[in-house]
Amino acid sequence: MNEGAGAVKGAVAMSGDGVGAVRVTRAEYCVIACAEAWRGDGEVLASPMGAIPSVGARLARLTFSPDLLLTDGEALLVAPDGTPEGWLPYRRHLTAVTGGRRHVMMGASQIDRFGNQNIACVGDWSRPRRQLLGVRGAPVNTLNNPTSYWIPRHSPRVFVERVDMVCGVGYDRIAAAGPGAARFHRLPRVVTDLAVLDFATPDHSMRLVSVHPGVSVEQVAEATGFALTVPDEVPFTRDPTPEELELIRTVIDPGGLREREVPDPRDGPGGRTGVSPGGAGGASATGAADAPGAADADGGARGGGIPAGPGGGGR
Amino acid sequence: MSDKTMSAQDVVGRLESGMTVGIGGWGARRKPMALVRALLRSEITDLTVVSYGGPDVGLLAAAGRIRTLVTAFATLDSVPLEPHYRAARESGAFELREVDEAMFMWGLHAAANRLPFLPVRAGLGSDVMRVNPDLRTVTSPYPDPVSGIREELVAMPALRLDAALVHMNRADRAGNGQYLGPDPYFDDLFCEAADTAYVSCERIVDTAELAKEAAPQTLLLQRSSVTGVVETPNGAHFTSCAPDYGRDEAFLRLYASTPYAEFAERFLGGGEQDYQDAVRTWRKERER
């Protein structure tokens, strides 16, 4: 990633476009950070869960990772414009998982410093305070194909010291899970509305990789319920190129689903705190909002396209 | 070939309290809802339900018919969290055997192939092992040719079923079942994993019509693994049954936002025809 310099930027100016300053929204930085997860992956299935990862996967496919495969959220493999190119019912999707020809970006209702993830329930499993999605495919995902995470609202309620139920398996648990368990285990990155994180530390604990422009390192630390590894220099998440911005705004997501998932903080008090996660993609009023990220945390074997139209993003 | 056609009531008449019942489809997709509604009209209870859960699980859980649930999730797809399932789970209404989506599939494969278990690379390191203390692992007898490691895998036990309930687009009277949508889900496995399998369908057609309507690989269910066939037009409502119809999103939202007792009172009081009529009436009132 070609991150910017470590100084605080305000509204970001796109240089060299001859039009003047172009405001890049927080959601658009998140799209770029998600797209980067699939850079260099080659001919594998990109399984995004959530609106912004879906935009990111399509952006990667249209630009720097042209060999990626995408699904329509039902049972078809499709080009970015929706043209079918293959058949991927659940049974074959699960083989893409176990065969390793896939990189999924799941949500997380809770995640800890070693990347253990929970989407099943909050509280004691035997009688949960809040039943969420269930384990879905998180166990098989994490043991078999690269698994990244998308968290649309970075907060201490999500970034916890200890998750209530380990669904997606983190680095400490996989190391203790017996011979061969870690063979295909890899958690490339965690993208949030504030920052990009990974596990590239000696003990595979979580590390801050970059902050999105407009976010401070302190802000990320405060929103994280455990001690993060923070390098001396923390770069900004890279800017979108003019071509990428054009693709995001006019080709991939002209309806602006990304802005509903992560409202721009400069758009007033409703920005950071006023919209529940999962507002995009038809999440309901059935209580998704009282577990941050729950509505977007579909850990299922199948991800989805942009959650619009039939299929609802594969949820 | 024997004629296996029967009514939904006949199907329920062959089920008993305490049975292990597998329900096909996935989430809010091609669920045998007419058969589930018939089950709700009966006194049958104390069931072990095996399902990639959707409103089938929500309704049966809310009605108190489930003793044990085997699943990886329960969702309405467009409404990610199944509210009635959720309420039942939070009140401790049933025992949950929570397994991963792939473990579930291999459990069905094991049952369909009359194997006691199949090895799966899933579950290790996760709390699926903690919440299912009966789960065991197996060590591969074959060392990896490169690393020499003999891998430890989860031995997913067979999910053998007393009965399976699935919904197809078409079937003939002998029990050959056809899906016309994009995904077979695991309905063939459910039937093969079960001692008895009951297939509801949108339309019963002559056997000769099956291969005329679509390519032969749409013939998902063989009659040798099917016990009974029920014609239930709109029988997957309000889940999807592509290409015959999509999910009834408006009704799904009504279901999701209505307390179960109230929903049951309005929609589940009579037979299947009464249900379909009540839905039509609700739709007309809404359009007014």
Three-state secondary structure string covering B71-110: ECCECCCCCCCCHHHHHHHHCCCCEEEECCHHHHHHHHHH
The reply to whether residue A167 touches residue B127, judged by beta carbons under 8 angstroms, is yes
Mean pLDDT calculated for residue range A175-189: 94
- Whether the CB-CB separation of A13 and A245 falls below 8 Å is answered with no
**A286 to B257: CB separation less than 8 angstroms, yes or no:** yes
The tokens of B274 are what?
């009464």
pLDDT of residue B288: 82
Q: Kindly state the average pLDDT of the residues B3-17.
A: 98
Beta bridge partners of B23: B51, B165
Q: Is the bond into B243 cis (omega within 30 degrees of 0)?
A: yes
Distance of CA B286 to the CA centre of its chain: 30
**What local confidence, expressed as pLDDT, does residue A304 receive?**
36
Residue B79 with chain A: CB contacts under 8 Å: 282-284, 286
Instruction: Please say whether the beta carbons of B65 and B51 come within 8 A.
Output: no
Q: How many CB atoms lie within 10 A of CB B200?
A: 29
Question: What is residue A107's predicted lDDT score, i.e. its pLDDT?
Answer: 98
| Sequence-ordered list of residues with C-beta below 8 angstroms from that of B281, at least 6 positions apart, any chain | none
Would you state the structure tokens that stand for residue B215, as one six-digit string? 């390519």
Q: What is the largest CA-CA distance in chain B?
A: 71
CB-nearest partner of A134 from B73, B77, B137: B73
Band (pLDDT 50/70/90 cuts) for residue A269 is low
> Using a CB-CB distance cutoff of 8 angstroms, which residues of chain B are in contact with residue A135?
72-73, 98-100, 126-128
Give start and end residues of each alpha helix (H) in chain A.
26-37, 51-62, 90-98, 138-144, 171-175, 217-222, 242-246, 257-261, 270-273
Question: Taking a C-beta distance cutoff of 8 angstroms, is the pair B132, B138 a contact?
Answer: no
Residue pair B76/B63 in contact (Cβ under 8 Å)? The answer is: no
User: Which of these, B179, B175, B158, lies nearest to B225 by C-alpha position?
Assistant: B175
Closest-CA distance of chain A to residue B102, Å: 6
The verdict on a CB contact (< 8 Å) between A134 and B98 is yes
Residue type for position B218: T
Average pLDDT, chain A: 84
Instruction: Please answer yes or no on whether A176 and B125 come within 8 Å at the CB atom.
Output: yes
Instruction: Dump strand ranges (E) for chain A.
Output: 45-48, 70-71, 76-78, 84-87, 102-106, 110-111, 117-118, 121-122, 130-131, 147-151, 190-192, 195-198, 207-211
Residue A110 has pLDDT above 60, yes or no: yes
List chain A residues with CB under 8 Å of B121: 98, 140, 143-144, 184
The pLDDT assigned to A276 comes to: 37
Residues A297, A58, A261, A147: is their CA dihedral positive or negative? positive
CA distance B90 to chain A (A): 6
Task: Tell me how many degrees the CA angle A75-B239-B218 measures, rounded to the nearest 5.
Answer: 45
What residues of A are in contact with residue B246 (Cβ under 8 Å)? 310
Residue with tokens 């890899």: A186
pLDDT of residue B31: 98
Model confidence at A291, pLDDT cuts 50, 70, 90, reads: very low
Q: What is the mean pLDDT of residues A74-91?
A: 96
Question: CA A124, CA A127: separation in Å to the nearest integer?
Answer: 6
Residue A250 Cα, gap to closest chain B Cα (Å): 26
Q: Which two tokens stand for residue A22?
A: 């172009």
Task: Measure CA B83 to chain center.
Answer: 18
Query: Which residues of A are less than 8 Å from B58 in CB distance?
Result: none
The CB density around residue A27, as the number of other CB atoms within 10 Å, is 25
Could you tell me which residues come within 8 angstroms of residue B226 by beta carbon, excluding any fewer than 6 positions away? B4, B171, B174, B175, B176, B177, B191, B197, B198, B199
Q: Can you tell me whether residue A222 is helix, strand or coil?
A: helix
So what's the pLDDT on residue A152?
Answer: 98
- How far is Cα A63 from Cα A280, in angstroms, rounded to an integer? 25
Q: Output the CA angle A111-A117-A120, nearest 5 degrees.
A: 115
**Using CB atoms, which residue from A91, A165, A284 is nearest to B186?**
A91
Token pair for residue B233?
Answer: 């037009």
pLDDT on residue A296: 38
- What token pair was written down for B147? 């690393």
Answer for the pair A7, A190: CB distance below 8 angstroms, yes or no.
no
Smallest CA–CA distance, residue A228 to chain B, in Å, is: 23
Q: Is pLDDT of B212 > 70? A: yes
- Nearest residue in chain A measured CA to CA from B87: A131
Size of interface A-B (CB pairs under 8 A): 183
Query: Does A91 sit within 8 Å of B184, measured CB to CB?
Result: yes
Q: Cα(B258)–Cα(B76) distance, rounded to whole angstroms?
A: 14
Report how far residue B235's alpha carbon sits from residue B35's, in angstroms, rounded to the nearest whole number. Answer: 8
Confidence category of residue A279, pLDDT binned at 50, 70, 90: very low
CB nearest A133 (choices: B73, B121, B183)? B73
Cα–Cα distance measured from residue A217 to residue A64, given in angstroms and rounded to the nearest whole number: 29
- Higher-pLDDT residue of B41 and A301 is B41
Q: What is the DSSP string of B49-66?
A: EEESBSHHHHHHHHTT-E
Q: What is the pLDDT of residues A203-241, one digit of tens each?
A: 999 999 999 999 999 999 999 999 999 999 999 999 999
Q: Could you read off the pLDDT of B243-276 as tens digits, one per residue?
A: 999 999 999 999 999 999 999 999 999 999 999 9
Domain parsing of chain A, residue ranges: 14-267
Task: Using DSSP, state whether B5 is helix, strand or coil.
Answer: strand
pLDDT digits (tens, 9 = 90+) for B29-55: 999 999 999 999 999 999 999 999 999
Q: What's the CATH superfamily of A14-267?
A: Glutaconate Coenzyme A-transferase (3.40.1080.10)
pLDDT in tens, B115-145: 999 999 999 999 999 999 999 999 999 999 9
Strand partners, B161: B194
